[in-house]
């Protein structure tokens, strides 16, 4: 998998000084890039009863529908506040300064339904762990969390210790 790292562009000091941004647009434009990512995540999660793939806004929306297609599952969006039109459930989580939240339609997941959550990058794990809580609030079962990139040095995985986490590309620093 590691050869795919050559397709990830690292942009220093974006969106603010000190952040090294992992840009997946350079992977997406490569004809084999998206294919390799979706195949690898589908291999890991196939046969695990995944009924729904939930993508986290915004870059999770790029990968989750393709993975849902590969797993013969449905797709549901987990969105930033006040974007979804019908009745929603919400989970708030802490940022470095202040809080943020994620929302899901209350009818997006049935009790007992197995849901795979997908995003591009696992950083501190705050967003992903809020997404998992959201699915569980609806009675869903988190079948796993899949990421293209994991920033190992931020230890986001510790917040997701209860789950089957699969990240394809790891960065140690
Ligand atoms: P976190 O809640 O800290 O795990 O942050 C995860 C979210 O922020 C994901 O949706 C990522 O898309 C985005 N993100 C965080 N850090 C980075 C980074 N260094 N490069 C690209 N995206 C990032």
Q: Among the CATH numbers 3.90.1150.10, 3.20.20.450, 3.40.50.300, 3.40.50.2020, which is that of 37-171?
A: 3.40.50.2020
158 CA distance to ligand 1 centroid (A)? 16
pLDDT in tens, 2-18: 899 999 999 999 999 99
CA 34 to ligand 1 centroid distance, Å: 19
How many Cβ atoms sit within 10 Å of the Cβ of residue 13?
10
Whether residue 72 has its Cβ less than 6 Å from ligand 1: no
| pLDDT tens per residue across span 21-57 | 999 999 999 999 999 999 999 999 999 999 999 999 9
Q: Is the pLDDT of residue 1 over 90?
A: no
Residue 85: the pLDDT is 98
In tens, the pLDDT along 65-107 reads: 999 999 999 999 999 999 999 999 999 999 888 999 999 999 9
- The pLDDT of residue 87 is 98
pLDDT at position 105, please?
A: 98
Asked if residues 115 and 52 have their Cβ atoms less than 8 Å apart, the reply is yes
The answer to whether the CB of 153 is under 6 A from ligand 1 is no
Q: Is the CB of 127 under 6 A from ligand 1?
A: yes
Ligand 1 binding pocket includes 156 (Cβ within 6 Å):
yes
Confidence of residue 173 (pLDDT cuts 50, 70, 90): confident
- Burial state string for 149-165 with b = 16 or more CB within 10 A and e = fewer than 16: bbbeeeebbebbeebeb
10 belongs to the catalytic site? no
pLDDT of amino acid 92: 97
How far apart, in whole angstroms, are the C-alpha atoms of residue 71 and residue 67?
6
pTM of the model: 0.98
For residue 154, give every residue at least 6 positions away whose Cβ sits within 8 Å of its Cβ, in sequence order, or none: 123, 124, 125
Q: Ligand 1 centre from 123 Cα, in Å?
A: 5
For the chain, percent of residues with pLDDT exceeding 70: 100
**Candidate from 55, 59, 64, 123 with most ligand 1 atoms within 8 A of CB, to mutate:** 123
Atom of ligand 1 nearest to the CA of 19: 19
Residue spans per domain, the chain: 37-171
Q: For the chain, what is the mean pLDDT?
A: 97
Coil, helix or strand at residue 111 = coil
pLDDT, tens only, 39-49: 999 999 999 99
The pLDDT confidence band at residue 61, using thresholds 50, 70 and 90, is very high
**Is the distance from the beta carbon of residue 148 to the nearest atom of ligand 1 less than 6 Å?**
no
pLDDT at residue 96 in the model: 80
Q: Which of 59, 79, 103, 157 is catalytic?
A: 59
| Ligand 1 center–CA 167 separation, angstroms | 13
């Amino acid at each position: 998998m590691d050869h795919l790292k050559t397709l990830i562009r690292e942009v220093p000091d974006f969106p603010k000084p000190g952040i090294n941004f992992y840009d997946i647009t350079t992977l997406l434009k490569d004809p084999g890039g998206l294919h390799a990512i979706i195949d690898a995540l589908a291999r890991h999660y196939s046969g695990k009863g995944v009924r729904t793939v939930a993508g986290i806004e915004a870059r999770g929306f790029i990968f989750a529908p393709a993975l849902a297609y590969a797993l013969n599952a449905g797709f549901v969006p987990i969105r930033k506040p006040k974007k979804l039109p019908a009745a929603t459930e919400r989970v708030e989580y802490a940022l470095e300064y202040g809080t943020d939240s994620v929302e899901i339609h209350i009818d997006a997941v049935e009790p007992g339904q197995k849901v795979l959550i997908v995003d591009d990058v696992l950083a501190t794990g705050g967003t992903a762990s809020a997404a998992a809580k959201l699915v569980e609030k609806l009675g869903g079962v988190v079948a796993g969390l899949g990421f293209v990139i994991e920033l190992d040095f931020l230890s986001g995985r510790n917040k997701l210790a209860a789950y089957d986490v699969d990240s394809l590309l790891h960065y140690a620093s």
